[in-house]
């Protein structure tokens, strides 16, 4: 075990054991803080100055507990700590740390409270406090909801500041120079004579001090790293093939495994014949696990070949037989008994609509997450503990699940977070870890590496929700007068949390997220959510409810604006009642040199706006007709995030989010026949390729007080902006995704 592993290993005895030479407090206190997990097993001379900063004579390690799945979370978290700690990014290493209560996600918990209450106001405030406390109690160390930056912005800087001031105190004791005459730079305390006391040499003394608390944070004008272009910590390994991901894990004695699960999710284990599998060289055993089989071999490919050689018949799962039945279930949900929430009801919608309202219906299909790294996990189960090596956004859930399966207690389960090759929400689920655990329980003491084939990964994804919306509206004197939007979908939150044995009472705000809270003062405006029954099991997909609702809301509004004879951008600006959102719309107009939906012959231009995860985001999309079909030529995108913490990551996440949103709107669809997904690899699940990629111009606005994350907000406006552009060019309304069913893309 490495020294660091030893240090970061979680133990419940932390408060009771004598800690050799170590002391630690957090500046992240929230009423009564959790104990600092780094205190366990500190060696003499090491200092864990908060749950996020570990200094040993060998070096400085920053703990970055939110998972990195490509969004640059390790880098951004390290940057926030380093800003106040006064270390250079090439002087530190980072580690995700172990699952621990101390790393709970407060920002996500506050977002989650939306699920529990029907409306804003006092009720919601009370619930938020309650949910914060409850989430803290269960220690939701979740990466999601674009919360890494909002959750960490103050907390991580404060951790760095506290460690810095404590190191200065140690330097003052050692040198006899008063703290007020000391400064810090590049991992050292600097004395008035310019001599340097490296942090690593001060660690032992710092460890004997009470860390300095409540240090004021630096003003933005003093920032060295925040808002500046820095080189991502992982850019060298990711450009040389030397970055290890979970799928690259190897260890002595490890066996390779894959699974053959019932292709009809939830159908359970059927009859099977393994005799052909054992003819494959290297296949050593086939074991039963929940819902399928684990195939063990001495090589990944041999395990996959073994799985393919098994003949099996599978019971059908609980899903409807046909895709038509899925849509019918949504259609049937627009009724009072399925009503879930009405979080917006302005004016008098029914009177304003009268008897000749415009109507339209919209559809959004199931979508796979399909990150490029197939799901994988290494698990070893022993009599007195278990270890898990995997990339995960939910380390605490995963730990609890492994404990439940093995009969061990959670503190006996060590989780080693790994770098993740893309997620988009895929790693919010932990089925692969449960399956690897079930296999490993049958091979006690042997590390089992479970790797999904691409086909297993897509067949057993829990996809983005399927959803349907109905719009009614009216216009008056060139303006949008009434807009009534009804949305039906199964509950993502309910489906996802049920797999973690958690129930979520009350309405699911994700059913209307990206629609009910939009900053448009339409005189008569209503948004109603209807909760369809669970059809396919579903999960969070980059931007969750807003991924379908951003399309629905903008598509309906676009039709009304057109009927009013108004300009799509001008009318949104006129209706907008939020100053920050208004600035985003003004910015997109200026960036794209907006002159209306047809900037020149043979082209079409569309605009859309969605506020999601607190971020107002607007996009303008240009399309052009070519001999080979429609081509997206340019996209402009503006997002308000308070502070752009890391401009490289910001640009990359925003442009990537646009491409993700456009690519799925163009081509993406998972359909089910007899309960089985019909798309099991990228040939049947296309997404945008480099030859289809437009020029993308990104601007981050920093007018607001709240610092917000941007992994998800660029996704929702992409599809409706494209739909609006296609309408401007062809006159055809895109009311259903994917659009490739109706138009040819070049």
Partner 1 sequence: MQITVDGKRHEVDVEDDMPLLWVLRDELGITGVKYGCGIAQCGACTVHIDGEAVRSCQVLAGDVWGDVTTIQGLGTPEALHAVQSAWIDHQVAQCGYCQSGQIMQAAALLAETPNPSDQDIDDAMSGNLCRCGTYPRISAAIKTAASKLREV
Where along the sequence are the contacts to partner 1 (CB under 8 A)? 69-72, 231-232, 234-245, 247-248, 250, 256, 281, 299-302, 304, 370-374, 420-424, 451, 453-454, 648, 652-653, 655-660, 663, 681-683, 687-691, 693, 695-696
- Give the Cα separation of 399 and 391 in Å (integer): 13
Q: Measured from the CB of residue 297, what is the shortest distance to partner 1 in angstroms? A: 10
- Give the Cα separation of 246 and 376 in Å (integer): 7
- Give the Cα separation of 526 and 469 in Å (integer): 13
Q: Measured from the CB of residue 259, what is the shortest distance to partner 1 in angstroms? A: 15
Q: At which residue do the structure tokens 């978290």 appear?
A: 77
- Give the Cα separation of 391 and 414 in Å (integer): 13
> SS3 for 192?
coil
Q: Measured from the CB of residue 127, what is the shortest distance to partner 1 in angstroms? A: 35
Residue nearer to partner 1 on the CB measure, 240 or 355: 240
Q: Measured from the CB of residue 86, what is the shortest distance to partner 1 in angstroms? A: 24
Closest CA to 541 of 728, 707, 447, 670: 670
Q: Measured from the CB of residue 424, what is the shortest distance to partner 1 in angstroms? A: 7
- Close Cβ partners of 252 (under 8 Å, ≥ 6 residues apart): none
Q: Measured from the CB of residue 515, what is the shortest distance to partner 1 in angstroms? A: 25
Token reading at 292: 């399928």
Q: Measured from the CB of residue 433, what is the shortest distance to partner 1 in angstroms? A: 19
Q: Which parts of 332-432 are beta strand (E)?
A: 339-346, 358-364, 376-382, 385-390, 413-417
- Close Cβ partners of 255 (under 8 Å, ≥ 6 residues apart): 284, 296, 297, 298, 443, 446, 447, 448, 449
Residue nearer to partner 1 on the CB measure, 75 or 583: 75
Q: Measured from the CB of residue 72, what is the shortest distance to partner 1 in angstroms? A: 7
DSSP per residue, 665-728: HHH--B-EETTEES--STTTS----GGGPPEEEEEEE--SSS----SSTTSTTHHHHHHHHHHH
> SS3 for 464?
strand
Q: Measured from the CB of residue 556, what is the shortest distance to partner 1 in angstroms? A: 27
DSSP per residue, 583-633: HHHHHHHHHHT---S-SSTTEEEEEEEEEETTEEEEEEEEEEEETTEEEEE
Residue nearer to partner 1 on the CB measure, 477 or 683: 683
Residue nearer to partner 1 on the CB measure, 243 or 500: 243
Token reading at 90: 């090439």
Measured CA to CA in angstroms, residue 34 lies from 12, 24, 29 at distances of 12, 11, 8
Residue nearer to partner 1 on the CB measure, 457 or 558: 457
Residue nearer to partner 1 on the CB measure, 374 or 463: 374
Measured CA to CA in angstroms, residue 588 lies from 167, 412, 478, 594, 606 at distances of 46, 53, 23, 8, 11
- Give the Cα separation of 103 and 84 in Å (integer): 19
Q: How many CB atoms lie within 10 A of CB 183?
A: 13
Token reading at 470: 């109905």
Residue nearer to partner 1 on the CB measure, 235 or 339: 235
Residue nearer to partner 1 on the CB measure, 340 or 429: 429
User: In the beta sheet, which residues pair with residue 356?
Assistant: none
Token reading at 321: 């037989």
Q: Measured from the CB of residue 223, what is the shortest distance to partner 1 in angstroms? A: 20
Q: Widest CA span of the chain, in angstroms? A: 85
Q: Measured from the CB of residue 303, what is the shortest distance to partner 1 in angstroms? A: 10
Token reading at 200: 């690593």
Q: Measured from the CB of residue 710, what is the shortest distance to partner 1 in angstroms? A: 13
Residue nearer to partner 1 on the CB measure, 61 or 451: 451
- Close Cβ partners of 693 (under 8 Å, ≥ 6 residues apart): 659
Closest CA to 727 of 627, 638, 615, 596: 596
Residue nearer to partner 1 on the CB measure, 148 or 509: 148
> SS3 for 300?
helix
CB distance 110 to 706 below 8 Å: no
Sign of CA dihedral 183, 185, 189, 192: negative
Residue nearer to partner 1 on the CB measure, 234 or 382: 234
**Cis upstream peptide for 483 (omega within 30°):** no
Radius of gyration of the chain (CA): 27
- Give the Cα separation of 624 and 22 in Å (integer): 64
Residue nearer to partner 1 on the CB measure, 156 or 659: 659
Residue nearer to partner 1 on the CB measure, 305 or 491: 305
Q: Measured from the CB of residue 236, what is the shortest distance to partner 1 in angstroms? A: 6
Residue nearer to partner 1 on the CB measure, 569 or 655: 655
Residue nearer to partner 1 on the CB measure, 239 or 359: 239
Pairing, β 524-532 against β 479-490: parallel
Residue nearer to partner 1 on the CB measure, 490 or 657: 657
Q: Measured from the CB of residue 392, what is the shortest distance to partner 1 in angstroms? A: 15
Q: Measured from the CB of residue 421, what is the shortest distance to partner 1 in angstroms? A: 3
Q: At which residue do the structure tokens 């990359």 appear?
A: 652
Residue nearer to partner 1 on the CB measure, 371 or 568: 371
Q: Measured from the CB of residue 101, what is the shortest distance to partner 1 in angstroms? A: 28
Q: Measured from the CB of residue 172, what is the shortest distance to partner 1 in angstroms? A: 39
């Amino acid at each position: 075990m490495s020294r660091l592993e030893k240090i970061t290993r979680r133990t419940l005895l932390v408060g009771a054991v004598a800690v050799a030479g170590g002391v630690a407090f957090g500046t992240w206190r929230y009423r009564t803080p959790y104990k600092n997990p780094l205190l366990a097993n500190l060696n003499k001379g090491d200092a864990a100055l908060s749950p996020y900063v570990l200094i040993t004579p060998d070096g400085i390690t920053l703990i970055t507990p939110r998972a990195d799945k490509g969004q640059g979370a390790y880098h951004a978290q390290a940057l926030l700590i380093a800003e106040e700690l006064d270390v250079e990014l090439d002087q530190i290493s980072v580690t995700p740390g172990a699952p621990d209560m101390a790393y709970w996600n407060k920002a996500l918990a506050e977002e989650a409270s939306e699920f529990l209450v029907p409306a804003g106001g006092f009720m919601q405030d009370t619930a938020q406090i309650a949910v914060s406390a409850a989430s803290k109690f269960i220690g939701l160390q979740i990466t999601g909801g674009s919360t890494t930056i909002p959750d960490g912005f103050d907390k991580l800087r404060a951790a760095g500041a506290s460690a810095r001031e404590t190191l200065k105190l140690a330097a003052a004791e050692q040198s006899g120079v008063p703290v007020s005459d000391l400064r810090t730079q590049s991992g050292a305390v600097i004395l008035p004579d310019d001599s340097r006391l490296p942090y690593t040499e001060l660690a032992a003394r710092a460890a004997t001090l009470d860390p300095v608390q409540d240090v004021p944070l630096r003003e933005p004008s003093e920032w060295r790293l925040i808002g500046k272009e820095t080189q991502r910590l992982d850019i060298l390994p990711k450009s040389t093939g030397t970055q290890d991901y979970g799928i690259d894990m190897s260890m002595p004695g490890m066996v390779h495994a894959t699974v053959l699960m019932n292709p009809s999710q939830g159908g359970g284990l059927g009859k099977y014949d393994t005799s052909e599998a054992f003819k494959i060289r290297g296949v050593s055993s086939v074991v039963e696990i929940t819902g399928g089989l684990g195939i063990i071999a001495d090589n990944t490919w041999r395990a996959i070949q073994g799985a393919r050689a098994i003949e099996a018949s599978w019971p059908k799962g609980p899903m409807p037989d046909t895709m038509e039945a899925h849509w019918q279930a949504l259609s049937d949900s627009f009724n009072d008994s399925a009503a879930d929430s009405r979080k917006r009801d302005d004016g008098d919608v029914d009177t304003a609509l009268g008897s000749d309202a415009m109507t339209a219906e919209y559809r959004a299909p199931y979508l796979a997450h399909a990150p490029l790294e197939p799901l994988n996990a290494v698990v070893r189960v022993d009599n007195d503990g278990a270890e898990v090596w995997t990339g995960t956004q939910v380390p605490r859930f995963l730990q609890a699940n492994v404990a439940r399966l093995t009969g061990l207690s959670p503190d006996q389960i060590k989780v080693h977070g790994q770098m993740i090759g893309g997620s988009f929400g895929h790693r919010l689920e932990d089925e692969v870890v449960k399956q690897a655990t079930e296999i490993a329980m049958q091979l006690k003491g042997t590390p089992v590496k479970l790797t999904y084939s691409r086909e297993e990964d897509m067949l057993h994804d829990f996809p983005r929700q399927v959803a349907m919306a109905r719009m009614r509206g009216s216009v008056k004197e060139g303006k949008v007068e009434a807009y009534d939007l009804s949305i039906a979908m199964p509950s993502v939150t309910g489906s996802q949390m049920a797999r973690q044995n958690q129930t979520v009472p009350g309405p699911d705000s994700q059913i209307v997220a990206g629609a009910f809270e939009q900053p448009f003062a339409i005189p008569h405006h209503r948004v109603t959510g209807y909760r369809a029954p669970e059809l396919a099991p579903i999960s969070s997909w980059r931007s969750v409810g807003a991924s379908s609702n951003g399309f629905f809301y903008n598509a309906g509004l676009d039709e009304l604006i057109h009927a009013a004879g108004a300009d799509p951008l001008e009318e949104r600006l006129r209706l907008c009642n939020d100053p920050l959102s208004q600035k985003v719309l003004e910015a997109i107009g200026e960036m794209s040199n907006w002159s209306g939906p047809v900037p020149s012959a043979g082209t079409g231009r569309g605009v859309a706006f969605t506020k999601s995860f607190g971020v107002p985001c607007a996009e303008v999309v240009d399309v052009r007709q070519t001999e080979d079909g429609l081509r997206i030529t340019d996209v402009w995108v503006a997002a308000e995030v308070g502070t752009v913490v890391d401009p490289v990551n910001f640009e990359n996440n925003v442009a990537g989010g646009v491409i993700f949103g456009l690519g799925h709107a163009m081509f993406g669809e998972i359909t089910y026949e007899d309960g089985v997904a019909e798309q099991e690899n990228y040939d049947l699940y296309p997404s945008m390729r480099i030859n289809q990629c437009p020029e993308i111009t990104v601007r981050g606005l920093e007018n607001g007080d709240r610092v917000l994350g941007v992994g998800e907000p660029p996704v929702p406006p992409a599809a409706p902006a494209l739909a609006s552009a296609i309408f401007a060019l062809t006159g055809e309304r895109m009311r259903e995704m994917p659009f490739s069913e109706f138009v040819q893309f070049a």
